[in-house]
Chains A and B, each alone.
Chain A
Amino acid sequence: MALPVVFFGVFFAYPVAAIVARGLHADGVWQFGRIGDVLADPGIRHVLWFTTWQALASTALTLLVALPGAYVFARLDFPGKGVLRAVVTVPFVLPTVVVGTAFLALVGRGGLLDAWWGVRLDTTVWAILIAHVFFNYAVVVRTVGGLWAQLDPRQEEAARMLGASPLTAWRRVTLPALAPAVAAAALMVFLFTFTSFGVVQILGGPTFSTLEVEIYRQTSEVFDLATAAVLTLVQFAAVGLILLAHAWTVRRRETALRLVDASATARRPRGAGQWALLAGVLATAAVLLVLPLAVLVQRSFGGGLDYYRALTHEDGTFLVAPITAIATSLEYAAAATVIAVAIGGLAAAALARRDAGRLVRGFDALLMLPLGVSAVTVGFGFLIALDEPPLDLRSSWILVPLAQALVGAPFVVRTMLPVLRATDARLREAAAVLGASPWRVWREVDLPMVRRALLVAAGFAFAVSLGEFGATVFIARPDRPTLPVAVARLLGRPGDLNYGQAMALSTILMVVCAVALLVLERLRPRTASAGAADGMGEL
């Protein structure tokens, strides 16, 4: 427990505190009056209002679109399921800048919709909402669907035998069991959309601005650090409140669920309803998820292989050939994954203990804060706080993986905690009575149970690290850009070649992510002897 606390203290709380202090602490005095001034500004109020309602709308829309998908992935068996599951996860880890651009190509001026039907959405809020659904579809499908796949179908059958209709049985038995997962997924989606940056930056135009975009604008365009600090505090408080409320609801509902092997609960679709549902979900995935990516790939080949060839050359934009960003990204992401899994795993193990005190449980909520607090702030805070003794890491390569691990660790905790908590405590007791020390109990009982969850968590952390942009853009060294940073830099340059190269590099990033996730899908432990615990990590 101590290690995660120190980690988050030094690499999260300290930088954030530093940036807040830099903003509000001027001429040797704290200037809290500025908080009031900033919040009274009508422009800022508008930003706050828009941030909130677009996040709510995005969350509702995502749940609406993705819950049928969660069901299909959990309970139906169809060819290509593993590949498709990886495919729907890809958008989640794509750099926001790329997604924004892909959607612009789809729904903006001269885009696909414009060319076919003369419809443009880039000036409306719909473009933002749809892009948010695109991003977060996988969050709901994996969090909810993962648990759904492991719920014992016999529970529903028992309800049916007691006279419940299929719908009532679902509503009364399955839904309450899923509720914590749905709440967790909804919370994540809300957090991501509340702090949305790249998407809103590109698709929102001058009209729509979220808190995060405003923080970035104040920091890097207006250089008004005081306003940025106040906005950071506001975002911090809002996110903190949401997380506390969430922790409260989850704790009230969390029960040791009866989990079964995920592969045993899925079966071939039966009846017109299930076929229609499957078709609907596949069509949704195709239009919503695959189409923007297809447009992206198509554009990357706009000049044959020219754009890809250009990636191997050094030019004025970079100190190095853009293609080297692949190796750099992979190295950083691997390091970040190791850190995130170590820190997140330790934290999850500590949080899963039944005798965990209030203090420890409170940490559960705090762990999510790095997700909610502006990545821009974290990156900028790293620059301010970690560039002087006692912690001078500015020139160290570890800085980038550290920032990325900060974003990845909460995913690890979120993925592992439900599985750890669902493990029957008496199984651990059985091991203890047979002579296993607490450490061996963890290794012999918990680890095999969570091995798959651990792999999935590692994959998530890896993918998130690969795609992390907001913080990395501040701290990546000029000669060692990561893929998203390189993409952003290319996008920032005029000219078709740069644009095409950005598309090509994005495509490469997408393929790297897809391969990583696909490998993960295939990494199943031996099924023969693994029994019920086998599918436990499907989150």
Chain B
Amino acid sequence: MTLLGLRGATVRFGERTVLDAVDLDVAEHEVVCVLGPSGSGKSTLLRAVAGLQPLDAGQVLLDGADHAGVPAHRRGVGLMFQDHQLFPQRDVGGNVAFGLRMHGVSRAEQDRRVAELLDLVGLPGAARRPVAALSGGEQQRVALARALAPRPRLLMLDEPLGQLDRSLRERLVVELRELFGRLGTTVLAVTHDQGEAFALADRVVVMRDGRIAQSGTPLEVWQRPADAFVARFLGFDNVAEATVAGTAAITPWGKVPVGEAAPQGPRTVLVRPAGVRVGTAGEGLRCTVAARTFRGTHVALQLQPEDAPRLEAACALRDAPEVGAVVGVEFDAAEVVVLG
């Protein structure tokens, strides 16, 4: 059952087209994450669905009904703002109860629901605390409780974990995922952080310049980026133009093996760092180690071939060569992707 549908949604700010004929469906109980660099139009997308930003063309459908002209407060969707936007003059309980009050919920029911939600987000008994005294993580939880309180049919999150520190972010993303699963909430979130998107979403939508570049499960997007932009945005730097012939691609790094079903002709090729095998000098492509970065589970190497773009390689700590060492590089066909 499709809950939200965007049909050719277009928003222009003056000359600039921020949303360019976007089509997107979000099914009930689905968690969709819109991923893109800043300025790709993802926040505008949320604002358009919320009714805070009128469309210049296209439609926003909620439960199949066009919502053009329906003001934000009658759309029944929730939006958690990037910097939370808690009401500074109200305490935690006042913030969480706000939406309930707007919907005419009785006082007793408000109190019950506030307590329940604060329990849910891990802040039991915090109702009387002033919001100014909350830490960033606590503010985020209060904002979430506030957005959930009126039971919106669609919950939207704008960079939900953007300003929090890393460990907190990683913990909260797991909590959110669990919470949404338990409540069956339909979620449309936007983020620029791929880790967040992959951890949170059933489906990831990558945006670029107001258009959707790719849509798919986290695994699909990760394994088969649609194009060079998506690949680079996901953090893959070994992307190059190539000509595919049979099971080999001619790249600036020389011949790279590809899978048997690979599309032929001029293509863009992605070599994952794990597919760059570092061996002894004299075998394969001759490279100098330009930099090595310890990544916890592995070491990321920057390899400089003699007359080709740099390659990133991942290798185990004990195998990692020193900076300045000369190595030979070979490629693993299983980690090479021929992009659309």
Query: Which residues of A approach B to under 8 Å, CB–CB?
Result: 424, 426-427, 429-438, 440-441, 444-445, 448-449, 528-534
Q: Is the CB of A435 within 8 A of B99?
A: yes
Q: Is the CB of B89 within 8 A of A432?
A: no
CA distance A531 to B133 in the complex (A): 9
Q: Is the CB of B130 within 8 A of A424?
A: no
Residues in chain A near residue B73, CB distance under 8 A: 432-438, 440-441
Q: Is the CB of B88 within 8 A of A531?
A: yes
B223 interfacial by beta-carbon distance below 8 Å: no
CA distance A281 to B5 in the complex (A): 64
Residues in chain A near residue B76, CB distance under 8 A: 435
Q: Is the CB of A532 within 8 A of B88?
A: yes
Q: Is the CB of B88 within 8 A of A433?
A: no
B interface residue count range (under 10 / 10 to 19 / 20 to 34 / 35 or more):
20 to 34
Residues in chain A near residue B52, CB distance under 8 A: 429, 432-433
Question: Of B47, B81, B90, B146, which is within 8 A of A529 by CB?
Answer: B90
Q: What 9 pairs across the A-B complex have the smallest Cβ distances?
A: A434-B99, A435-B102, A531-B132, A432-B72, A430-B85, A531-B88, A433-B79, A448-B89, A532-B88
Q: Is the CB of B71 within 8 A of A432?
A: yes
B50 interfacial by beta-carbon distance below 8 Å: yes
Encoded as 1 (CB less than 8 Å from any A CB) or 0, chain B from 67 to 110 comes to 00001111111110101010111110000001100110000000
Q: Is the CB of B91 within 8 A of A433?
A: no
Task: Check A433/B77 contact, CB under 8 A, given A529-B130, A533-B89.
Answer: yes
B131 interfacial by beta-carbon distance below 8 Å: yes
Minimal beta-carbon separation of A447 from chain B (angstroms) = 10
Residues in chain B near residue A435, CB distance under 8 A: 73-74, 76, 99, 102-103, 150
Q: Is the CB of A530 within 8 A of B98?
A: no
Question: Of A427, A440, A532, which is within 8 A of B102 by CB?
Answer: A440
Task: Please report whether the interface of chain A is mostly helix, strand, loop or mixed according to DSSP.
Answer: helix
Question: Of A433, A448, A449, A532, which is within 8 A of B72 by CB?
Answer: A433
CA distance A222 to B131 in the complex (A): 66
Residues in chain A near residue B85, CB distance under 8 A: 424, 426-427, 429-430
Q: Is the CB of A426 within 8 A of B131?
A: no
A-B contact pairs, 13 of them (CB 8 A): A427-B87, A429-B50, A429-B81, A430-B81, A430-B85, A432-B73, A434-B102, A434-B150, A435-B73, A435-B102, A436-B73, A532-B88, A532-B132
Residues in chain B near residue A444, CB distance under 8 A: 87, 98
Minimal beta-carbon separation of B19 from chain A (angstroms) = 18
Q: Is the CB of B71 within 8 A of A531?
A: no
Q: Is the CB of A430 within 8 A of B79?
A: yes
Minimal beta-carbon separation of A535 from chain B (angstroms) = 11
Residues in chain A near residue B99, CB distance under 8 A: 434-435
CA distance A437 to B73 in the complex (A): 6
Minimal beta-carbon separation of A454 from chain B (angstroms) = 14
Minimal beta-carbon separation of B172 from chain A (angstroms) = 20
Q: Is the CB of A531 within 8 A of B131?
A: yes
CA distance A436 to B74 in the complex (A): 8
Q: Considering the complex, which residues of chain B in the window 271-327 have a beta carbon less than 8 Å from any beta carbon of chain A?
A: none
Minimal beta-carbon separation of B266 from chain A (angstroms) = 46
Closest A residue to B128 using CB positions: A529
Q: Is the CB of A449 within 8 A of B150?
A: no
Residues in chain A near residue B74, CB distance under 8 A: 435
CA distance A516 to B78 in the complex (A): 45
Minimal beta-carbon separation of A315 from chain B (angstroms) = 54
Closest A residue to B130 using CB positions: A529
Residues in chain A near residue B150, CB distance under 8 A: 434-435
Q: Is the CB of A431 within 8 A of B132?
A: no
Closest B residue to A261 using CB positions: B132
Q: Is the CB of B78 within 8 A of A433?
A: yes
Minimal beta-carbon separation of B248 from chain A (angstroms) = 54
Residues in chain B near residue A429, CB distance under 8 A: 47, 50, 52, 72, 79, 81, 85
Q: Is the CB of A531 within 8 A of B146?
A: no
CA distance A433 to B157 in the complex (A): 12
Encoded as 1 (CB less than 8 Å from any A CB) or 0, chain B from 39 to 76 comes to 00000000100111000000000000000000111111
Minimal beta-carbon separation of B196 from chain A (angstroms) = 21
Closest B residue to A441 using CB positions: B73
Q: Considering the complex, which residues of chain B in the window 111-129 have a beta carbon less than 8 Å from any beta carbon of chain A?
A: none
Q: Considering the complex, which residues of chain B in the window 140-173 have a beta carbon less than 8 Å from any beta carbon of chain A?
A: 146-147, 149-150
Minimal beta-carbon separation of B70 from chain A (angstroms) = 12
Using A426-B83, A431-B102, A433-B147 as known contacts, list a sample of 17 further A-B pairs with CB atoms less than 8 Å apart, ordered by residue number in A: A426-B85, A429-B72, A429-B81, A430-B79, A432-B72, A434-B78, A434-B98, A434-B102, A434-B149, A436-B102, A437-B71, A449-B89, A529-B90, A531-B88, A531-B89, A532-B88, A534-B89
Q: Is the CB of B102 within 8 A of A529?
A: no
Minimal beta-carbon separation of A440 from chain B (angstroms) = 6
Task: Check A529/B89 contact, CB under 8 A, given A436-B102, A440-B102.
Answer: yes
CA distance A435 to B88 in the complex (A): 18
Closest A residue to B149 using CB positions: A434
Residues in chain B near residue A533, CB distance under 8 A: 88-89
CA distance A441 to B78 in the complex (A): 16
Residues in chain A near residue B89, CB distance under 8 A: 448-449, 529-531, 533-534
CA distance A175 to B99 in the complex (A): 40
Residues in chain A near residue B50, CB distance under 8 A: 429, 433
Closest A residue to B90 using CB positions: A529
CA distance A426 to B73 in the complex (A): 14
Closest B residue to A426 using CB positions: B85
Closest A residue to B47 using CB positions: A429
Residues in chain B near residue A424, CB distance under 8 A: 85
CA distance A479 to B48 in the complex (A): 63
Minimal beta-carbon separation of B339 from chain A (angstroms) = 38
Residues in chain A near residue B79, CB distance under 8 A: 429-430, 433
CA distance A267 to B78 in the complex (A): 42
Residues in chain B near residue A440, CB distance under 8 A: 73, 102
